[in-house]
Amino acid sequence: MQSFHGVDGSYEGTVGDSSTERLIMQELEMKNGLETMLAEQRVTAERYKANFSLLEAQHVQLRSETQQLKDDVAQKDNELQNCGKRFENQIMRLEGEKERLLLDIESLKSKILTPAKLENLRQSLLRDVELIYKQHLAQTEDEVEMYRKELNKLKFDHNFLKTEYENCQNEFCPKA
């Protein structure tokens, strides 16, 4: 008979014994079960390693993408700030131009003739023109009066000279 030691070395028996065979079979089944479990654990471990490698690669990729996105956000933020400054400058320039145009409008409004201003201007021009014509008329009337007096004086002198002439003719040349 052959003796058999167990896995832990505690059992000793003979091969021909049925209980011993059953124990050996159980130990073999258990050993096969452990080897199967070990093989499954190795497959699972390999799958975990593959998943870990994949996740690690994805993590590196995501970190890279995150950094790229942060850089893009920083660039866009910088562009936005520059654009905002440009717009603020343009707004300030346009507000200055608006103020200048409003002043120009107010200046032009003061120059625009309203109906009341137009009537005042018409009255003023009418007075000025009437004054000019009145002055001219007065001057003309003065000249007419002066020429009338001169004419009357000339008529008087003419009548006087005519009378003198007639008197002289009557004295020196009597009528026959």
Q: List, for residues 16-68, the tens digit of each pLDDT value.
A: 578 899 999 999 999 999 999 999 999 999 999 999 999 999 999 999 999 99
Please report where in the chains the tokens 């091969």 appear, as a residue: 15
pTM over 0.85: no
Euclidean distance between CA atoms 91 and 52, whole angstroms: 56
48 contacts 41 by C-beta, under 8 angstroms: no
Ranges assigned E (strand) in the chain = 3-5, 12-14
Rounded-to-integer distance, Cα 133 and Cα 139, Å: 10
pLDDT single digits (tens) 108-165: 888 887 888 888 889 999 999 999 999 999 999 999 999 999 999 999 999 999 999 9
